[in-house]
Amino acid sequence: MSLRSRTRATVLVALTLGSALALSACSSAAPAEEAPAEEQASTVTITDNHGEIEVPVNPEKVVALDNTVFDTLEEWDVELVAAPKDVMGTVWPVYTDDENVANVGSHREPNLEAIVAAQPDLIIGGYRFSDAYDQIKEQNPQAAVIEIAPREGEDEVSELKRQTEILGQIFDREEEAEALSTGLDDAIAGAKEAYNGTDTVMAVNTSAGQIGYIAPSVGRSLGPVFDALGWKPALEVEGATDDHQGDDISVEAIAGSNPDWIVALDRDAAFVPEEREPGSAPADELIAGSEALQNVTAVQQDQIVILDPNFYLTEGIHAYTGLFEQLQEAFGAA
């Protein structure tokens, strides 16, 4: 073989070896650049109404059944795959008007199959749906099922802040959650300062044309406000309950207590007219138009506060913050 031939062969071998090494290097580096290892989904351990449970952070598929969380979820742009549209009124059209959000119906006639079909990662149950907790857990083993609604017998304000803190952990919104709790504290402080500490207060619930009594501390919705603001009750009834319709007492008994203020929750106001109880009428008309209450100080001095019409449906941290701000304005203007 000539020198020229040997040189050409040497060059070809070198080029071949170089190409092979280059391809080998590219092959070994490719997985790190083109197909990075998939990150594991993060989780957080929270303590719900049943104990410690591990839940996904920013879950992809969320079902929410608890009305007290909808305001917060909407504010944080949390999408839902299913919700109980039949008990949500017209408050959250972002969910109720979305055809991609399955309808779980109502707590009286729940469509639990809709939850199963949605294959959620997280189910926020409880509140009106608390009786279905065990069944929902059994039917959805792939999901974390939690209940974080305010617990009976606990301080309502603390419970609302606890609920919000948990939601902040789950949806990576801890700063926003803290801001909501601070807003609630500020609203309470303002309302407490506006109250003179001596005026008597009567809390009532109106529905189907009837006026019910809401007891201090234990009564639905307004009961905890007595404790938060140090209200002086106009009337205390032994054996009072937290019934959602209020306790049945006569308007004569209300008149006899002569409250300086009447604060009313209108249960019918949140529903469209065709869904309201027969005989329903606006709370302000029922109270101001009652013959028995005409000489009551609250009526005489127009010191009647009617809650936001949607309060009966919401009852979350946003609703209570708004309520305390409303009370600050009303009592402060008196």
What is the domain-level CATH number for residue 92?
3.40.50.1980
**Do 167 and 200 have their domain in common?**
no
Give domain status of residue 279, yes or no. Answer: yes
**Of the candidates 128, 146, 175, which is a domain's last residue?**
175
Give domain status of residue 186, yes or no. Answer: no
Residue-level pLDDT, tens digit, the chain, 334 residues: 443 344 344 433 344 434 443 434 444 444 444 434 344 559 999 999 999 999 999 999 999 999 999 999 999 999 999 999 999 999 999 999 999 999 999 999 999 999 999 999 999 999 999 999 999 999 999 999 999 999 999 999 999 999 999 999 999 999 999 999 999 999 999 999 999 999 999 999 998 888 989 999 999 899 999 999 999 999 998 765 555 444 457 889 999 999 999 999 998 887 656 565 666 788 989 998 899 999 999 999 999 999 999 999 999 999 999 999 999 999 999 9
Nearest-angstrom CA–CA distance, 241 and 103: 32
Element containing residue 6 per DSSP (H, E): helix 3-34
Give domain status of residue 137, yes or no. Answer: yes
**Of the candidates 142, 175, 208, which is a domain's last residue?**
175
**Do 140 and 270 have their domain in common?**
no
Domain residues for the domain of 47 are 43-175
Element containing residue 43 per DSSP (H, E): strand 43-48
Give domain status of residue 130, yes or no. Answer: yes
Strand order in the sheet with 102-103: 102-103, 82-83, 62-64, 122-125, 144-147
Nearest-angstrom CA–CA distance, 45 and 55: 6
Tell me how far CA of residue 209 lies from CA of 130, 264, 268, 270, 277, in angstroms. Answer: 29, 13, 9, 15, 8
Reference 70, options 119, 47, 118, 104; nearest CA is 104
Decide: 230 and 198 in contact? Cβ < 8 Å: no
**Of the candidates 175, 210, 233, which is a domain's last residue?**
175
**Do 156 and 215 have their domain in common?**
no
Give domain status of residue 52, yes or no. Answer: yes
**Do 163 and 250 have their domain in common?**
no
Give domain status of residue 15, yes or no. Answer: no
Nearest-angstrom CA–CA distance, 193 and 191: 5
Beta-carbon count within 10 A of 154 CB: 12
Nearest-angstrom CA–CA distance, 238 and 161: 30
**Do 320 and 242 have their domain in common?**
yes
**Do 91 and 206 have their domain in common?**
no
pLDDT recorded at residue 93: 98
**Do 47 and 87 have their domain in common?**
yes
- Angle subtended at Cα 311 by Cα 74 and Cα 109, rounded to the nearest 5 degrees: 75
**Do 200 and 326 have their domain in common?**
yes
Q: Are strands 43-48 and 51-56 parallel, antiparallel or unpaired?
A: antiparallel
Structure tokens at 185: 């504290």
**Do 211 and 109 have their domain in common?**
no
When divided into structural domains, the chain yields a total of 2
Structure tokens at 40: 């594991």
- Amino acid at the residue 181: S
Element containing residue 8 per DSSP (H, E): helix 3-34
Reference 227, options 254, 262, 191, 180; nearest CA is 191
**Do 217 and 144 have their domain in common?**
no
**Do 202 and 326 have their domain in common?**
yes
* Bridge partner list, 51: 48
Instruction: State CA 192 to chain mean position distance.
Output: 24
Give domain status of residue 115, yes or no. Answer: yes
Q: Are strands 51-56 and 62-64 parallel, antiparallel or unpaired?
A: unpaired
Nearest-angstrom CA–CA distance, 188 and 324: 6
Reference 129, options 98, 185, 83, 71; nearest CA is 83
pLDDT recorded at residue 23: 37
* Bridge partner list, 105: 110
**Do 149 and 254 have their domain in common?**
no
Give domain status of residue 188, yes or no. Answer: no
pLDDT recorded at residue 238: 75
